[in-house]
Amino acid sequence: MDMFRSRLPKPFDLPKRLMRLGELAYNLWWTWQPEAGRLFGRLDYDLWGRLGHNPIRLLREIGRARLNQAAKDKEYLAIYDRVFEQFDGYLAQANTWADTIHPELDDHPIAYFSMEFGLHETLPIYSGGLGVLAGDHLKESSDLGLPLMGIGFMYAQGYFSQRISEDGWQDALNNPLVFDDLPVLPVTGEDGQPLTIEVEFPDRTVSVRLWEIRVGRVPLYLMDSNVDANQPDDRLLTARLYWSDLDRRVMQEVLLGVGGVRVVRALGYNPSVWHMNEGHAAFLTLERARELVAAGHTFAEAVKKTRRQNVFTTHTPVPAGNDEFPLWLLDKYLAALWPELGLTREEFVNIALHQQPHGETFSMPVLALKLSDGRNAVSELHGEVSRKMWNFLWPESEAADVPITHITNGVHTANWMARRLQNLFAQYLGADWYDHLDDSDLWEKLDQIPDAALWAVRTHLKRKLAFYMRERVRERWTAGGYHPVQVVSSGVLINPYALTIGFARRFATYKRASLALSDVERLLDIINRPNMPVQIIFAGKAHPADEAGKQLIQNVYRTVKKAETGGRLVFLEDYDMDLARYLVQGVDVWMNTPRRPLEASGTSGMKAALNGALNFSVLDGWWRESYNGKNGWAIGEEKEYESDEAQDAADAENLYGTLENEIIPLFYVRDGKEIPAEWLSHVKDSLKTNIPQFSTRRMVKEYVERLYLPALK
């Protein structure tokens, strides 16, 4: 099967010897190949940084003189040749995991639907963990050779960028994306015209065109309603992620589910697995049933025939993450669908009816759970929580028997691990370590890495983080309108040798970002101890409509700004995948304080762990499965509390105590060579236990073996 449905654009004006850089710029493979990324960076590190690591813009703007110079630079050409040898080998590889272990997947494509995909900072079509997980799923599927394609949206304005005012208030900037500058390629039909599909709403039809992103071997197809044929309002349907306005939201989800199935058909695929990454795509179950009803089956038969191939992953027990719509919205947008399914309105509504205290709703997760045979949560504890939460759909079952399994999340190792660390592993674990990264035995060899070598990489990464923060501040300061106190709050006073703790995530209230600030006096005492300074770096966005989340940011910012913090508390604006990479690679400790058991899984702590940071987190989600008493620290206990206040007080007390008595003293115990040997023994334990287990390598293999293969039967 031909993988890609788009054509590369007119080549860049490049010297012949470097011609293929253009091709590389259009395949995101380069984003998880440190050597490939350096091919662009080495042309002009400064420009590369200023353009936000955008190779297409770099190749356009760099100028012929520098390119001609590179085309004669032996060292550069050696890297170039090595990278393209790898690239060609990768694209043509015939003995991938899928090919050798599961040849039965051949000709059985998997369609993976997600509202967001986090692939790279130049493509702001993600808001947080859900999208980054989807992006990592695609990258790993490519590495494993799975016949998988992604389906989602190409948002014309992308997710917002965040500015923090002097008083800590979040401003949201919406930046129209210039598609021409991005690695998105128009998909054309056999006639050479742009391929479009249509979705009917009661009073009109919405047309959608398609863009393709090449993710290694895997294509990602993105829908875009900004076409001439549509009314002005409809052209905005795919302009932004997660419209808060319910009308737009329901239409978006109809486009994703119903439109997405039509996209797959228009491209000529007949998938054997339809994977819904969260409930936003659940209308796909109805569109697939409609296809069979149109061919003469009853709705019941159609559901019976399609459900085996549907796989649904639930990602959160938090209500805001579980979309549901009031019934009047269904009347407004879906009234044409129930007769096409051979159903009455009542029968239709009953498929996904959810009785809520505030009335009856149509629930997207209920729809997905009821019409799929494959169902999973994203950690062991989240599995338990989900089985209880959805028990009402299986009233005959005990909670333990509710048919929702769990596959714990993972992260794409090469995408998140610092290049220096990858090189260190290649040196001590073997050049092919990446091929065996989910093999625990391999990681036993880690003890052979000398402490000094590991510590040298760790300190290098922390210095890099410090420089990065400084350069970001310089840019903002130079642009004007930045108050000096904001400069100080943005990390310029960071000491690259002091214990540094990272806390970065969406500012949703259940994540309790201000837990560490609940007793400011005590915290100031902790961070300002002579000879044992501690620094905490905060970052994260709140959804623009989430006032409570924005207030949380403001609380944190107001504390960070205080002179008594000595610049040791930092808030970094505009958390995205770029900043995330520097943070998870550079900090010593990754802190996470969700209100148990609402975290579901969490993934940023995994990214930090695989770079040699130690986790310090509530025993929720993935960390509850990883924590072994040596590979990091727990915050609080695994128990239920009478009230949120009681839980917060107990967890805060525990957090401060562990910092004071365990983490800080351990970090500052040094041997004669200034190396914290005991600290590093914990780091090694963390690397050993976390890398093989919490990678998408393990995760995607589990999806294949436990949820995709059963769908083929």
Ligand X SMILES: *Cc1c(COP(=O)(O)O)cnc(C)c1O
Q: Which residues bind ligand X (CB under 6 A)?
A: 128-129, 132, 505, 575-577, 580, 602-605, 607
Phi and psi at 277, nearest 5°, equal -85, 90
Least gap, CB of 411 to ligand X (angstroms): 7
Least gap, CB of 611 to ligand X (angstroms): 13
Least gap, CB of 417 to ligand X (angstroms): 13
* Closer of 321 and 326 to ligand X (Cβ): 321
Least gap, CB of 371 to ligand X (angstroms): 27
- Using alpha carbons, select from 561, 696, 687, 707 the residue that is nearest to residue 632: 687
Sign of CA dihedral 233, 236, 240, 242: positive
Q: Could you give the dihedral angle defined by the CA atoms of residues 247, 253, 258 and 259, in that order, rounded to the nearest 10 degrees?
A: 90
Least gap, CB of 116 to ligand X (angstroms): 11
List 214's β-bridge partners, or say none. Answer: 27, 219
Q: Is the peptide bond before 357 cis (omega within 30 degrees of 0)?
A: no
* Closer of 341 and 378 to ligand X (Cβ): 378
* Closer of 256 and 618 to ligand X (Cβ): 618
* Closer of 252 and 604 to ligand X (Cβ): 604
Chain centroid to Cα 346, Å, comes to 38
CA distance 218 to 64: 32
* Closer of 258 and 465 to ligand X (Cβ): 465
**Helical ranges in 542-603 per DSSP H:** 547-560, 577-586
* Closer of 259 and 540 to ligand X (Cβ): 540
Least gap, CB of 597 to ligand X (angstroms): 14
* Closer of 577 and 711 to ligand X (Cβ): 577
- Using alpha carbons, select from 572, 610, 615, 626 the residue that is nearest to residue 591: 615
Least gap, CB of 387 to ligand X (angstroms): 22
- Using alpha carbons, select from 521, 664, 500 the residue that is nearest to residue 567: 500
Do 140 and 697 touch, CB atoms closer than 8 A?
Answer: yes
* Closer of 433 and 582 to ligand X (Cβ): 582
3-state SS class at 11: coil
* Closer of 148 and 577 to ligand X (Cβ): 577
Estimate the share of the chain in helix, then strand, then coil, as percent rounded to the nearest 5: 50, 15, 35
- Stated as kind and residue range, the H or E segment containing 454 is helix 451-479
First-to-last C-alpha distance (Å) of the chain:
21
For 635, the token pair is 């915050």
- Using alpha carbons, select from 413, 580, 464 the residue that is nearest to residue 34: 413
Least gap, CB of 393 to ligand X (angstroms): 26
Determine how many CB atoms are found less than 10 A away from the CB of residue 651.
Answer: 23
* Closer of 557 and 575 to ligand X (Cβ): 575
* Closer of 442 and 513 to ligand X (Cβ): 513
Least gap, CB of 120 to ligand X (angstroms): 11
* Closer of 99 and 578 to ligand X (Cβ): 578
How far, CA to CA in Å, does 44 sit from each of 273, 622, 632? 44, 40, 39
How far, CA to CA in Å, does 562 sit from each of 57, 162, 488, 559, 702? 40, 22, 10, 6, 48
* Closer of 154 and 618 to ligand X (Cβ): 618
CA distance 371 to 307: 5
Least gap, CB of 318 to ligand X (angstroms): 12
Phi and psi at 250, nearest 5°, equal -70, -35
CA distance 290 to 275: 18
Least gap, CB of 247 to ligand X (angstroms): 28
Do 24 and 83 touch, CB atoms closer than 8 A?
Answer: yes
Least gap, CB of 289 to ligand X (angstroms): 33
Least gap, CB of 694 to ligand X (angstroms): 12
* Closer of 533 and 602 to ligand X (Cβ): 602
- Using alpha carbons, select from 146, 136, 135, 324 the residue that is nearest to residue 707: 146
Do 533 and 568 touch, CB atoms closer than 8 A?
Answer: yes
* Closer of 574 and 685 to ligand X (Cβ): 574
Least gap, CB of 596 to ligand X (angstroms): 14
Phi and psi at 139, nearest 5°, equal -60, -45
For 52, the token pair is 């936000």
* Closer of 108 and 137 to ligand X (Cβ): 137
* Closer of 287 and 576 to ligand X (Cβ): 576
Least gap, CB of 699 to ligand X (angstroms): 14
Residue type, 321: G
* Closer of 211 and 575 to ligand X (Cβ): 575
**What length does the chain have?**
713
Least gap, CB of 121 to ligand X (angstroms): 8
DSSP summary character for residue 515: G
- Stated as kind and residue range, the H or E segment containing 171 is strand 170-173
Sign of CA dihedral 108, 114, 119, 124: positive
Residue type, 558: R
Sign of CA dihedral 353, 354, 356, 361: negative
Least gap, CB of 648 to ligand X (angstroms): 19
Least gap, CB of 315 to ligand X (angstroms): 10
- Using alpha carbons, select from 234, 381, 238, 225 the residue that is nearest to residue 316: 381
Residue type, 99: D
For 521, the token pair is 């006096």
Chain centroid to Cα 349, Å, comes to 33
Q: Which residues have a Cβ under 8 Å from the Cβ of 534 and sit 6 or more positions away?
A: 498, 499, 500, 501, 526, 527, 568, 659, 664
